[in-house]
Structure 1
Amino acid sequence: MHTMLTKFFEYGEEEIEYLKSVDRTLGAAMERMGRVERVIIPDLFAALMHAIVGQLISAKATRTIWERMQNRFGEITPQHIAKQSADDIQACGMTMRKAVCIQHIAGAITQGAFNLEELLELSDADVIRRLITLNGIGKWTAEMMLINSMERRDIVSWGDIAIRRGMMKLYGLPSLTKEQFDAYRLRYSPCGSVASIYLWEISFE
């Protein structure tokens, strides 16, 4: 079986110490948990496909569908995926809407209508702006690309239910407003992505 090239999100003492200094509650949780690793997919196309598969479903379901796709199509490249029908893609266990999006995006990239590599040169905000022009890509999916593929340093996603749940658990909040969320996000900056890695872990504890 072809396995996708993955690595861990790179961060070190500097980010950990910074977050501990700006937020004692988060710092204490980080101390208790030790180092938390986040697996990322450096390949932009594979990461984008993975993010679409993961929209609105659990991490476990995402993993199952992703394994089926790799078994069925081999390497997840625009050329391989563009050749598949939406029915073949859907047969891996996702909704038809996602399958159609995946097929369209693979086609657009193969035909040169969308250049993923150009994203590497852009700011976070411009990456989001460019990605959401693609059918089926919203802000959450774009933010997942920034953190889970491009290793951008300061991403904390309001659209991510697990991140919000992690925040509520960490600070003992019965609910979370966008204003509260933004205050925490600004506090973590410029190391928001490492905070996110811990918040995800907290939400599943």
Structure 2
Amino acid sequence: MNDPALAHIAQDPIMARLIAETPSPKIFNDYADDVYLALLESIVSQQISVKAANAIFIRFRRLFPDNYPHADALLLKTTDELRSAGLSFQKIKYLQSVAEFSLANPIDRAHLDPMSDEEIVQYLIPIKGIGRWTVEMMLMFVLSRPDVFPIDDLVIRQRMLRAYSEKTEGLMGKPLYKVLHEIANAWRPYRTEASRYLWRWKPEN
């Protein structure tokens, strides 16, 4: 196993079996140098299907001359204009919050890259509509941080419950979270890669 991340997380026998059963995860990094656009896209995609989110985001971007929702231009759009893209009133407020934040606070890679993962979480969650899970997804898929463990992700928890049933059976709430963190600590400093495999793994019924 030439990949140091895989070699490390495979020291966990359960993860080794899971990796053997699972195709290598594809890594998409469409917004590698554009945290602002990634945050806008994450808001649009909340609580709707991927297909619907993609269609709405395309229509949203087409509202702007260069197909890019620059913060100042976004804030000049009327509610009716933004609604025409298929956005809800709540998501419009959240998109405007991202724009307002970006005009007052730098969110480019040069500013964020020196920060720790937790510092970035605390820096961005004051934006309305942006919670810890959203920032963790950005850390993993936009900033390519190697050691993120998104424990609040439902799929991650469900897959860990299946894979580590002997350790997690009957646990709920804080005791469950404690055990899941303990399991994931063995994957440091490559918890992002382990999480990618958990997402892609298809447990047998």
TM-score surpassing 0.5?
yes
CA distance in structure 2 between the partners assigned to 1:199 and 1:120 by the alignment: 26
Aligned counterpart in structure 1 of residue 152 of structure 2, from 140, 150, 159: 159
Aligned CA distance change for structure 1 residues 168 and 44 (closer, same or farther; 3 Å): same
- Compute the displacement of 1:33 (Å): 1.7
CA distance in structure 2 between the partners assigned to 1:108 and 1:186 by the alignment: 34
- Max radius of gyration: which structure? 2
CA distance in structure 1 between the partners assigned to 2:93 and 2:49 by the alignment: 20
Matched residue, 1:19: 9
Q: Tell me the TM-score normalised to structure 2 length.
A: 0.80
What 5-or-longer segments of structure 2 have no aligned partner?
A: none
Matched residue, 2:44: 53
Count, aligned residues: 191
The residue identity in structure 2 corresponding to 1:191 is: Y
CA distance in structure 2 between the partners assigned to 1:199 and 1:166 by the alignment: 6
Q: Where does 1:85-96 land on structure 2 (aligned, <5 Å)?
A: 85-96=78-89
Say if 2:28 is the partner of 1:35: no
Equivalent residue of 1:39, what SS? Answer: coil
Matched residue, 2:55: 64
Aligned CA distance change for structure 1 residues 204 and 180 (closer, same or farther; 3 Å): same
Equivalent residue of 2:104, what SS? Answer: coil
Matched residue, 2:104: 113
CA distance in structure 1 between the partners assigned to 2:58 and 2:197 by the alignment: 25
Matched residue, 2:183: 184
Cα RMSD for the two superposed structures = 2.5
- Compute the displacement of 1:156 (Å): 1.3
Say if 2:137 is the partner of 1:144: yes
Q: Post-superposition, which runs of at least 4 consecutive aligned residues in structure 1 deviate over 6 A?
A: none
CA distance in structure 2 between the partners assigned to 1:66 and 1:192 by the alignment: 30
Equivalent residue of 1:188, what SS? Answer: coil
Matched residue, 2:197: 198
Aligned CA distance change for structure 1 residues 188 and 133 (closer, same or farther; 3 Å): same
Aligned counterpart in structure 1 of residue 93 of structure 2, from 82, 89, 100: 100
The residue identity in structure 2 corresponding to 1:15 is: A
Would you say the 8 A contact 1:162–1:200 is kept in 2? Answer: yes
CA distance in structure 2 between the partners assigned to 1:63 and 1:102 by the alignment: 16
What 5-or-longer segments of structure 1 have no aligned partner?
A: 1-11
Would you say the 8 A contact 1:128–1:143 is kept in 2? Answer: yes
- Compute the displacement of 1:85 (Å): 2.9
CA distance in structure 2 between the partners assigned to 1:104 and 1:75 by the alignment: 17
Q: Tell me the TM-score normalised to structure 1 length.
A: 0.80
CA distance in structure 1 between the partners assigned to 2:83 and 2:134 by the alignment: 19
Would you say the 8 A contact 1:169–1:202 is kept in 2? Answer: no
User: Which structure exhibits the higher relative contact order, with contacts defined as CA atoms closer than 8 Å and separated by 6 or more residues?
Assistant: 2
Equivalent residue of 2:10, what SS? Answer: helix
Equivalent residue of 1:28, what SS? Answer: helix
